[in-house]
Structures are given as C-alpha cells and as structure tokens.
Amino acid sequence: MIQHVARALALVLAAIGLTTLAAPAHAIVDRDCGDFATQAAAQAFMLASGPGDPHGLDGSDDDGRACESNPCPCGTTAPQLLVGPGSTQGSQSGAQSGAQSGADVVRRNVGNVVKVTDGDTLQVRVRGIGIRDVRIIGIDTPEVYGGAQCGGRRASQRMRELAPVGSTVTLISDPSQDDRDRYGRLLRYVERRGKDVGRAQVNLGQAKVYVYDRTPFRRTAGYERVERSARTHHRGSWGTCWR
C-alpha cells in the first residue's frame, strides 16, 4: 500500500514539474517574420498576440500590418478584395465577408513602373489590369510642371532611384482614403522590395506629409515621425527650400 501511494505521489510531482518547466519555455519564445510562410499567417499571429505587437512584427511604420515583405496570401485587420487578375487576397470566403462588411478592405496589386511622372506620382503597368496613374498616398512633393518649384526636380530624381522604370512594385490601398483622386489616379502606397517608397521620400526630405481633407491615412504617425527627423536634420529640401 505504501509503495502504491509513493508511486502515485511521484507521478503527481513529476507532472507538476513538467508543467512548471514548460510554461516559461513557451513564454519566452519570440517570433519574427521568418517564422511565417506568408504575410497572412504573420498577420493572424500578431492579432492573436494581443495589443501592443509584443513580437514587433509590424515594423516601424505602425500601420497595423505584420511582415509586409512576406509573400501573399496577405491579410490585414479584415480580408482583402480582388480587383483584377494581378491582385492578391486571402481566402474566397474572407473576400466575401469583407465585401459584406464594406470596411477595412485593402487592395494589393503588383505591377511594373512605366514612368516616373514626378516626386509623388508614377505610371504603373498593373498586372492583369493595364497602365494606371498612381498618386502616392500621404506625401506631397514640389511641382515640376507649370513652373518648377524649389526641390521639385530633386524629388523627381529621388523617385527615379526609389522606383526606377521597369522595377516591380506593390500598390496598396488605404480604406481610410478614396480609391482614386479627382483626376482619376489610383491612390496607393507604393512598396518596392518591402520598402515604403512614400515614407522614404519623406525621410529623405524630398516630400512633406500630406493629409487630404483632414482625414489621416493609416500610416500617418510613422510618416510624421520621419518628417520630424528630416526637418530636424535639414535633409533634402528642408535644408534648401523649406523652413
């Protein structure tokens, strides 16, 4: 009898010991973008991890999107909408639920730059759709047409370096903004090799943050951060054209 009790007690203590050891080991596991095969998988993990993005998957732009350089399927806080053969999205059922809710729908298309119009506008051959004029969300650069403004030519040249003709770019919509502007141009973030081109222009001091009609875009906070840095350090036009 005593042997049976001792054996049972030993099993209980062993189980408690395993539980105690397992919990801290699990808690200290940190994840990075390389742990996920797709952007959608990283997004789902980030949302399930609770507030504050404890694993740092959102990067430095604070736009609520995890691991944007990971391949699609892609996800956001809600499903994406397919707008052409060149688009990427999550599951079909997700697209339907996104269309029904009418909110938080993000369009992502891949294309190749055909022309750099100026520092904040491109022409892109969107795969499966055709050539479209694209006005980059959230930035404004000096004009180069109808009387060149100070810094305009420099901003255009920087854009040619950030998104050269022929380069592959990803166009990303923002549900807080219109799909097109009054000239019919697509309003999109432009990313190349995982880099936000518009934010790069602001960081280089070649563009100012532009909030249309007092409606902040989703990446406003990150853009304003790099603008403050560019202004403080007199980068680009902040050192020659702007105060």
State pLDDT tens for residues 230-242.
999 999 999 999 9
Identify the band that residue 86 occupies on the pLDDT scale cut at 50, 70 and 90. Answer: very low
Identify the band that residue 52 occupies on the pLDDT scale cut at 50, 70 and 90. Answer: low
pLDDT 10s digits, 213-224: 999 999 999 999
Question: Cβ contacts of residue 149 below 8 Å, gap of 6+?
Answer: 142, 143, 241
Q: Which CATH number does the domain 108-239 belong to among 3.50.30.40, 2.40.50.90, 1.10.260.40, 3.40.1390.10?
A: 2.40.50.90
Assessment of whether the complete model's pTM goes beyond 0.75: no
Whether 87 and 128 have beta carbons less than 8 Å apart is answered as yes
| Domain parsing of the chain, residue ranges | 29-101, 108-239
Is the pLDDT confidence value at 228 over 70?
yes
Give the residue-averaged pLDDT of 6-22. Answer: 44
Give the residue-averaged pLDDT of 34-50. Answer: 79
pLDDT for 74 equals 67
More confident residue, 49 or 74: 49
State how far the alpha carbon of 69 is from the alpha carbons of 43, 145, 148, 170, 243, in Å: 12, 34, 35, 10, 35
Which amino acid is it at 116? Answer: V
Q: Give percent above pLDDT 70 in the chain.
A: 70
Give the residue-averaged pLDDT of 100-114. Answer: 81
In angstroms, the CA 39 to CA 88 distance is: 11
Is the pLDDT confidence value at 211 over 80?
yes
Tell me which DSSP letter residue 125 carries.
E
pLDDT for 62 equals 61
Alpha helices in the chain (DSSP H): 2-27, 39-48, 92-101, 152-162, 197-203, 220-232
In angstroms, the CA 137 to CA 177 distance is: 8
Is the pLDDT confidence value at 21 over 70?
no
